[in-house]
Amino acid sequence: MSRSAQEIADWMVNRVSALTGLPPEAVSVSEPLLRYGLDSVALVALTTDLEAWLGYRFRENPLEEHPTIEALARFLAEQKMTR
């Protein structure tokens, strides 16, 4: 199933909100995720949940190249289309 950039971004905002305890409106899509102080365990949890939700596994951690929700969502949405 293919997801739009908007759907991915919404999903990410909700997950980051759940992981940090911040309200969803406080999670900005244009700030690097590291700004929310997610530690390595939380980042692993986030990427594995994202894989499960998208239904495929990443070869490399996409957060390294695309550190904001906006960039990540755009990247993943395009990935899916070119597959």
* Residues at the site binding another protein, with contacts judged by CB under 8 A: 20-21, 31-32, 34-42, 44-45, 48, 61, 64
- In whole angstroms, how close is the CB of 59 to another protein at the nearest point? 13
Are 29 and 69 spatial neighbours (Cβ–Cβ below 8 Å)? yes
Query: Residue 5 or residue 27: which is nearer to another protein going by CB?
Result: 27
In this structure, what token pair is assigned to residue 43? Answer: 């980042």
Query: Residue 20 or residue 77: which is nearer to another protein going by CB?
Result: 20
Query: Residue 2 or residue 61: which is nearer to another protein going by CB?
Result: 61
- 49 Cβ neighbours under 8 A, 6+ residues apart: 15
Task: Map residue 68 onto helix, strand or coil.
Answer: strand
